[in-house]
């Protein structure tokens, strides 16, 4: 089932969203439903805090106020769901925390978006920030999807115990006194300490959980667990929890029924407090106290020596491992570069021979072109000389015809000349005889009449 859900997530990435809520939007925008009366906690207005609305497979999952200064969440808000949580197989990051203008509005693996988001990890914790440390990323609420923006650095035993404590509180104390899970609003948060892993991610001083039920009765309850005490768990009212966080903090709108604690929860809390505060007291004797003092001194000395030895061993191991990694990286880089150069040598040699061969071909082509140019002129002349008799013999009939045509033309011209001269003489003689004859017979009309 998990593999099928993961496959669907990979095929349809648009169903995985973790959107950064911008300042212009009201509260946590579409994730306001996770808060009591749709109102987020007040008193956490820090310029380095970013609002994130986490969605999974089209459903809203939870809302987170993330501290980009300490690289841990200030708090995350949930409504109880039995099947809450994601099917992701690895820790996810939110690209928009480091780049608010990024179009990547989906949670992603850090290795998949390193090149797409410049400066990834500047404002949020990454999985590699936990490397070479004893800490592990731990969810504030164990049913949340595994996003690093809703996780804090925890020791493995504390991480497991915190998840068990929260699960028992919700199932054995909160749900029996609340009508259904939709009416149970949960806030889980962390308060940073001065300790940081890899000088980046703050280790929490303590983690806390606040519950608010709106039906059938309105009640609230707070829980504090300090990271130095794995077994300890302190149940307080929401007002006391707010005072621990800061005097200006208001976790629930209207104090969730005025901050009232359910009677049965109050009695359970008081009973556990009385049990813790009133153990049977036995006053030890002087010898026992001296023996306890000596034992405590020896224990602390041995503990300090062992811690020092362990610290030195870890430092030596880290130095040796770091050097080995550096040598391995240098050797692999050198071998890769050398292999690349050696593999390029045959290619370069073949390319040089190819260029030389192409050069010879070009020279030969140019030489042949010159020879053809030189041989072209005498070849054409010889061809013309060879074809001269042919054209001469073939031209004789045409020349003869032209000569005959010329002779015939001359003859016709002489004939026309003689005939014209004879005709003209005859016309003149005829005209002269006609005039003489008319005068002889006495005709008086002139030539014009």
Least confident of 28-37, 177-186, 263-272, 412-421: 263-272
Say yes or no to pLDDT of 120 above 50.
yes
Q: What pLDDT score was predicted for residue 419?
A: 83
The side-by-side arrangement of strands in the sheet containing 49-56 is 16-21, 49-56, 59-67, 72-79, 184-197, 201-213, 219-226, 234-236
User: Looking at residues 181-199, what average pLDDT do you find?
Assistant: 93
User: Looking at residues 198-216, what average pLDDT do you find?
Assistant: 93
More confident residue, 329 or 277: 329
User: Looking at residues 80-109, what average pLDDT do you find?
Assistant: 74
**Hey, CA dihedral for 336, 338, 343, 348, is it positive or negative?**
positive
Whole-prediction pTM value? 0.57
Eight-class DSSP state of 127: G
Q: Which whole-number Å values give the CA distances from 45 to 30, 42, 200, in the listed order?
A: 19, 7, 22
Q: What pLDDT score was predicted for residue 275?
A: 40
Q: Rounded CA gap, 403 and 432, in Å?
A: 43
Take residue 123 and report the two structure tokens written for it. 């404002």
* Phi, psi of 73, deg, nearest 5: -75, 145
Say yes or no to pLDDT of 260 above 80.
no
Q: What pLDDT score was predicted for residue 7?
A: 38
pLDDT digits (tens, 9 = 90+) for 361-411: 989 988 888 888 887 767 777 777 777 777 778 878 888 888 888 888 888
Percent helix / strand / coil, the chain, rounded to 5: 55, 20, 25
pLDDT digits (tens, 9 = 90+) for 125-176: 999 999 889 999 999 998 888 889 999 999 999 999 999 999 999 999 899 8
Question: By percentage, how much of the chain surpasses pLDDT 70?
Answer: 85
pLDDT digits (tens, 9 = 90+) for 292-349: 788 888 988 998 899 899 989 988 988 898 888 889 988 988 898 888 888 889 888 8
Give the pLDDT band (50/70/90) at residue 442: low
Say yes or no to pLDDT of 285 above 60.
no
Give the pLDDT band (50/70/90) at residue 81: confident
CB 153 within 8 A of CB 197: yes
Q: What pLDDT score was predicted for residue 272?
A: 46
Say yes or no to pLDDT of 254 above 60.
yes
Q: What pLDDT score was predicted for residue 2?
A: 35
Say yes or no to pLDDT of 231 above 60.
yes
pLDDT digits (tens, 9 = 90+) for 399-415: 888 888 888 888 888 88
Give the pLDDT band (50/70/90) at residue 72: very high
Q: Rounded CA gap, 223 and 367, in Å?
A: 97
Q: Rounded CA gap, 149 and 339, in Å?
A: 43
Residue with tokens 């988001």: 117
């Amino acid at each position: 089932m998990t593999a099928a859900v993961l496959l669907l997530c990979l095929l349809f990435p648009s169903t995985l969203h973790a959107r950064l809520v911008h300042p212009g939007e009201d509260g946590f925008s579409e994730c306001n439903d996770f808060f009591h009366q749709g109102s987020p906690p007040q008193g956490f207005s820090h310029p380095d805090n970013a609002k994130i609305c986490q969605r999974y497979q089209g459903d809203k999952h939870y809302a987170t106020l993330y501290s980009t200064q300490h690289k841990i969440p200030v708090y995350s808000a949930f409504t109880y769901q039995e099947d809450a949580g994601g099917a992701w197989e690895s820790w996810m990051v939110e690209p928009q925390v480091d780049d608010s203008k990024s179009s990547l509005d989906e949670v992603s693996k850090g290795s998949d978006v390193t090149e797409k988001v410049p400066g990834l990890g500047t404002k949020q914790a990454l999985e590699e920030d936990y490397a070479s440390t004893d800490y592990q990323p731990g969810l504030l609420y164990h049913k949340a999807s595994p996003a690093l923006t809703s996780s804090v650095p925890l020791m493995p035993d504390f991480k497991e115990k915190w998840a068990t404590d929260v699960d028992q509180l919700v199932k054995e104390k909160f749900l029996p006194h609340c009508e259904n899970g939709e009416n149970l609003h949960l806030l889980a948060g962390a308060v940073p300490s001065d300790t940081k892993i890899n000088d980046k991610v703050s280790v929490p001083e303590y983690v806390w959980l606040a519950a608010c039920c709106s039906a059938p009765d309105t009640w609230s309850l707070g829980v504090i667990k300090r990271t130095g005490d794995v077994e300890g768990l302190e149940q307080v009212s929401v007002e006391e929890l707010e005072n621990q966080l800061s005097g200006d903090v208001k976790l629930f709108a209207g104090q969730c029924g005025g901050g009232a604690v359910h009677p049965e929860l109050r009695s359970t809390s008081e009973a556990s407090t009385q049990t813790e505060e009133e153990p049977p007291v036995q006053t030890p004797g002087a010898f026992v106290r001296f023996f306890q003092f000596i034992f405590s001194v020896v224990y602390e000395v041995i503990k300090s020596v062992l811690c020092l030895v362990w610290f030195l061993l870890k430092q030596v191991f880290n130095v040796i491992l770091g050097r080995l990694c550096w040598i391995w990286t240098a050797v692999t880089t050198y071998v890769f570069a050398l292999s690349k150069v050696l593999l390029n040598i045959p290619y370069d040699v073949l390319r040089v021979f190819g260029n030389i061969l192409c050069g010879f071909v070009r020279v030969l082509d140019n030489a042949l072109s010159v020879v053809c140019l030189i041989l072209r002129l005498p070849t054409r002349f010889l061809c013309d000389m060879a074809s001269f008799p042919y054209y001469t013999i073939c031209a004789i009939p045409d020349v003869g015809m032209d000569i005959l045509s010329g002779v015939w033309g001359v003859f016709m011209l002489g004939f026309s000349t003689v005939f014209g001269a004879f005709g003209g003489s005859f016309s003149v003689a005829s005209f002269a005889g006609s005039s003489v004859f008319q005068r002889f017979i006495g005709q008086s009309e002139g030539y014009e009449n």
